[in-house]
Amino acid sequence: MRAGVAMRRARITLGALRDESGVALVMAVGILAVLMATGASLIYYAGSNVRSAEHSVDDTRALALGEAGMNYARSILYNAADPTSPTAVTSGTVTLEGGTVSYTGTYDSGTKTWTVTGTGTQASPIAGAAALTRTVSSQVQITGGSSWDPAWGYLFADTSGCTNLKNSITIDAPVYVRGDLCMENSAIVTSDLLQVRGSVQIKDTASIGTVSTPVLDVQVASGCRYPWSGSYVTPCGASQRVYRTNFSSTVPNITKPSVNLSHWYANAKPGPASSTCTTGSFPGQFDNNSTLDRSNGTQFLFPGSAYDCQVKDGSGNLLGRIAYTPGTPGSFIIDGVVFFDGKLELNGNKTVVYSGRGTIYATDEIKIQNYVSLCPVAGCNAAAWDPDTTLLGFVGGASSDSGVLIENNTTFHGSIYVVNDYLQKNTVTVCGPVIAQELFIENGSANCYVPFGSLPPGAPGAPPAPTATSLTNVPNSYTSD
């Protein structure tokens, strides 16, 4: 009987154990699932933290690249011949280790302050994601330096009407228009800077920039339209045949420098008040009376024979000089300020290389025409020209119509100021700034620009003497996106 009881107890215990083993299995599976979920979460969050750390590192790299770009622009500014020129800081893009850098600068002539900007681009660590981009900027204040008018940095039109560029012309010089700009036929602007305080209208195949070579900075206050009808659109873009990288409707207010004809009538050497050359002679006359009245007859700068007119003080110091020697090429020397109270012509199949620095005034029209080449470098190689060493300027003082006319297979490298209007046409190349009331450029013309650090003596807007330039970082001007 005791044996039977023991056997029953054994069967009960074994059954209980069998029941408990099933529960343990269920518990084991549950615990395993929890551990697997926990492990997956740990792996996910660990990977997320890694990606976040990589993103943070690359964002920091993009910021560093942006600062490198800003410093590129700052370096260009600090090495510029004239930091007050609105084109002193060029723009560009370079590739550095880890990404790309773009840089640019904008100048406020009113406050003489540069804003230099850099943008860094770093590839994203996440496949298929957009690149990381950071932009930074800061400001530099200019004090001292030459105070000559910034209008000398452009082809400058002071008109309130429409400046006309037409036919087959190429303008590769900064352009500033205080009124409107009208372009037609196949006229094209290819420079890095165009500023128009009015509006722009374009027709035919004319354009500002091209699809492949856009203008870097276009600033137009009142919009553009193509063709010459309909509403003006802003910002100006490809639909208006304006191909540009940057656009702004804010245009700096630059004014035309004033000219003092009476001052230079009395003080130019040689000129009406000192018409007698102390050494040599000029084959004509600087005036025919003692009054500034534009009555002097037409004077020819390149006659058939040589001349050398010099004005010296009592100690023999040179005060001014104008000289010409015919040849192939001929040579011309300018030193100081020369003044003619009437018209001036340069014409007739002449190739002339000039030297020196100075300004020639004519109170009436100046004509440069008919196969004339007048440049500071043989072959008119603008790339080899240093205007801070050699620069000839003309001032045309006609009270009506064109004050300076350049036409018919003519090339001139130098500076031009016109009291009234400027006309350039028929296979002409002019390299240098032009300031006028109105610009008329047409028929196979081309314009280029070579920056310079100082104006020739006597140029309108030139300071008596330049002072040392100082560039100072503006406190608290650093920004980043």
- Spatial distance between the Cα atoms of 432 and 368, rounded to a whole number of angstroms: 15
Contact indicator for 136, 118 with CB cutoff of 8 Å: yes
Chain segment 284-340, per-residue pLDDT in tens: 999 999 999 999 999 999 999 999 999 999 888 999 999 999 999 999 999 999 999
Segment 193-211 shows an average pLDDT of 97
Mean pLDDT of 180-194: 97
If you average pLDDT over every residue of the chain, what do you get?
A: 87
Amino acid at 380: C
Neighbouring CB atoms inside 10 A of 4's CB total 8
pLDDT confidence bin for 466, thresholds 50/70/90: very low
> Residue 191 corresponds to which tokens in the numbers above?
């420079």
**At 459, phi and psi to the nearest 5?**
-70, 140
- 3-17, 104-118, 259-273: least confidently modelled range: 3-17
Q: Domain limits of the chain? A: 49-147+465-481, 159-253, 258-448
What average pLDDT does this structure show over 100-113? 85
CA atoms within 13 A on the CB side of 149: 19
* pLDDT bracket for residue 463 (50, 70, 90): low
- Would you tell me how many other CB atoms lie within 10 Å of the CB of residue 363? 28
At residue 110 the predicted structure's pLDDT band, cuts being 50, 70 and 90, is: low
CA distance 387 to 81: 11
State yes or no: pLDDT of 5 exceeds 50. no
DSSP 273: G
pLDDT digits (tens, 9 = 90+) for 234-279: 999 999 999 999 999 999 999 999 999 999 999 999 999 987 899 9
How many CB atoms sit inside 10 A of residue 224's CB?
A: 24
The answer, as to whether pTM is greater than 0.75, is no
In one-letter notation, the amino acid at residue 75 is S
* Amino acid present at 469: T
Tokens of 102: 């773009």
Strands 113-122 and 99-108: antiparallel
Which backbone phi and psi does 59 adopt, to 5 degrees? Answer: -65, -40
Q: What type of residue sits at position 360?
A: I
Confidence (pLDDT) at 147: 58
- 392 — pLDDT class (breaks 50, 70, 90): very high
Residue 47 has pLDDT above 70, yes or no: no
Q: What pLDDT shows up at residue 81? A: 60
| Counts for the chain of helices (H) and strands (E), in that order | 2, 35
Neighbouring CB atoms inside 10 A of 453's CB total 17
Confidence of residue 35 (pLDDT cuts 50, 70, 90): low
Quote helix, strand, coil % in the chain, to nearest 5. 20, 40, 40
Instruction: With H, G, I as helix, E, B as strand and everything else as coil, classify residue 192.
Output: coil
Q: Where does the pLDDT of residue 400 fall: very low under 50, low under 70, confident under 90, or very high at 90 and above?
A: confident
Two tokens, residue 474: 């503006």
pLDDT at res. 28 = 58
Question: Cα 397 from chain centroid?
Answer: 28
pLDDT > 90 in the chain, percent: 64
Alpha-carbon distances, residue 316 vs 63, 115, 310, 323 (angstroms): 63, 49, 10, 18
Residue matched to tokens 């036919």: 167
